Amino acid sequence: MSDVAPKPSDQRLERIPDIGCAPVGSSAERRLAELWETAPGWRGWLSTVDHKEIGLRYLGTAFIFLLMGGIEALIMRLQLARPDQTLLTPDQYNQLFTMHGVTMIFLYSLPVLSGFSNYLWPLMLGSRDMAFPRLNALSYWIFLFSGIFLYASFPLGQGPNAGWFNYVPFAGLEFNPGPNIDVYALGMVLLGISTTVGSINFVVTLFRMRAPGMSIDRVPILVWGTLTASVANIFAVPSVSLAFFLLWLDRNAGTHFFDVINGGKPMLWQHLFWMFGHPWVYAVVLPAMGIVSDALPTFCRRPLVGYSAVALSTMATMLLGFGVWIHHLFAAGLPTLAMSFFGATSMVISIPSAVAVFAWIATIWLGRPVFNTPFLFFAGFVLLFVIGGLSGVMTAAVPLDFQLNETYFVVAHLHYVLIGINVFPVVGGIYYWFPKFFGRMMNETLGKWSFWVMFIGFNLGFFPMHLAGLLGMPRRIYTYAPNMGWNTVNLVTSIGSFMFAAGILIFLVNVAVSLRRGSVSSANPWDAPTLEWATPSPPPAYNFAVIPLVASRHPLWEDRLAEGESRTSLNEGYLLMEGRETIGTTPLDAKPDIILKMPDDSYAPFFLGLFSALVFTGLLLDWRQFTVLMILASGLTLMAWLWPREILLQRIAGSEHAEAGDYG
């Protein structure tokens, strides 16, 4: 690493040997702790910008929404377990059905993956925080307040009720005059702000916050997955935000964007929604695939087979994902030529996914698998991924889609994708990184029980939905006649759903027990290869006392793999302790070129998120003066956030100095 060593004149950037091995309580670590630790009590809870705290909050909040969405699903399955049930009225079922979809797709699936990435990215990349810590905190607060906003009217019987897809004209004012759809429209625009600012933060973090030497071909696959999803969100979220905003204008300002009688185009809604909706499917899958790609090799005792191919397939999947939205509209009467192109793309997109599947299978086959609980979840995920992928390819064939569209076959496919390919890697990832999060190991016996109950319950619950669809059972019905031939498959599906819920409950019991009684974890209990396992468990507030110098893709396995001649230096790097500081590196080669001054904790993200949510509340209730007041409060909060203070930016390659506002 001599080619990136600082000039002797840059005394603050001189490499300090062995400081990473300094004992706990040393003056350097005490100084770093004073700089980076969050204040105790409610003040610190509201003002923290620590990526680890924010990541755990994302995980916890997303799991609360998962439980809420799961309870809604179980109530619906009770209604559908037998024919002619009267547990729910049609309107109650519509609200449960809509909120279940909204919760699982928007409030759980991507935020839970953001929790993993927020916590792990700086640790994996050898940094002390995300690129914009305050923006990171803002994304969480807006996510939380948007979830509360969406659920506020649900207990009052005024929740969204036109399905999570919210098709017009059913969602129009003529057929749905209550506040239900306005809640959904404004809540989704608010949630889109959180997703967008979070995605920008991930992109900048990757390109500027990696440890020296961690070139772009050395980052973990989880980073590739989250980066690809974040870039896609930046382009896809504006589409759905625009759709909901135009719908809100139709309902509240007298416009006619979707009103066919007055020259509007109902199909415009479907195009705008699915321009977002199908890239979003991959946004909630690719980071989960990254979790498997990084954690599975640990239990196979060998590196991932085909790292470069998997990284490229991740990007290819998302690029192709922008060209498949029309397959949601095959039955809508589109031109045959358009359906042919999009049907072909919907089939081709299976190729990069197959690359990842073969890489995982080859890693298991060529390795020496250790059948711990995380490995079981990851291996089970591979099987569910194949089933969900094959049913997706089937719906890409236009003639077959004509038959399967609007049947329970599509519901089965959706759940194999969004639960099988998201929940199983997430739960496996929590078992894997739980020692890093909390410094304790989870119980293996309870872990294996939770896997088998979840795995059997999931397939018992959702595989029969394929059969129900082939038997002609339509989607979105709240009851059915006893002579339709669907009685048995619906009963089995309901039993499997409750069994799957029992597996989730066992997992939550394991979490609660392990937090209190789990055995204390070492820094690297799994003997894993990536950089986050080089820190104590749990990591200190500053992550790394010394910014490490990375020399390979597997920093902790270098000796056994003999990857090149140089070695990663964990005990010799850059010690930065004149304020909250970290190293900024070049985008591709990760050569250090700047000292980044990181912001202190601040209440501004919390209050800006709160006032933003209140602006949308005022719009919903038509409180015009209140809305204006909250807009002014948001502006003042933003001014307080952005008020500049001079900071020093020193470049390694010379003595160049610059002044800049701290906008973190």
Beta-bridge partner residues of 648 = 659
Provide the Cα torsion 630, 635, 637, 642; round to 10°: 170
Closest to 1 measured CA to CA, from 524, 560, 580, 583:
583
Instruction: Dig out the tokens for 1 from the structure.
Output: 């690493």
DSSP 482-548: TTSS-HHHHHHHHHHHHHHHHHHHHHHHHHHHHHHHPPBP-S-TT---SGGGGS-SSPPTTS-SSEE
- pLDDT exceeds 80 at position 329: yes
CB 120 within 8 A of CB 222: yes
- Taking CA 585 as the corner, what is the angle to CA 579 and CA 587, rounded to the nearest 5 degrees? 145
Q: Would you state the structure tokens that stand for residue 321, as one six-digit string?
A: 């994902």
User: Which helix (DSSP H) or strand (DSSP E) does residue 241 occupy?
Assistant: helix 221-252
Q: Do 176 and 167 touch, CB atoms closer than 8 A? A: no
CA distance 327 to 344: 10
Please report how many Cα atoms fall inside a 13 Å half-sphere around the Cα of residue 483, on the Cβ side.
Answer: 0
- What is the Cα–Cα distance from 98 to 93, expressed in whole angstroms? 8
The reported pTM is: 0.92
* SS3 at position 350: helix
Residue 41 parent element (H or E): helix 41-47
Gap between the Cα atoms of 596 and 580, Å rounded: 8
Give the amino acid at 14. Answer: E
pLDDT of residue 153: 87
Q: Which tokens go with 362?
A: 């080859």
156 pLDDT more than 90: no
What average pLDDT does range 9-31 have in this prediction?
52
Q: What is the pLDDT of residues 407-440, one digit of tens each?
A: 999 999 999 988 888 999 999 999 999 999 999 9
pLDDT band at residue 646 using 50, 70 and 90 as cut-offs: low
* 647-663 average pLDDT score: 39
Long-range contacts from 459-462, C-beta under 8 angstroms, 24+ separation: 459/496, 460/492, 460/493, 460/495, 460/496, 460/499, 460/500, 461/492, 461/493, 461/494, 461/495, 461/496, 461/497, 461/499, 461/500, 462/412, 462/415, 462/416, 462/419, 462/420, 462/493, 462/496
Angle between helices 90-102 and 51-80 (to 10 degrees): 150
The residue-averaged pLDDT of 180-205 equals 96
- Mean pLDDT value across the chain: 89
521-564 tens-digit pLDDT:
999 999 999 999 999 999 999 999 889 999 899 999 988 887 76
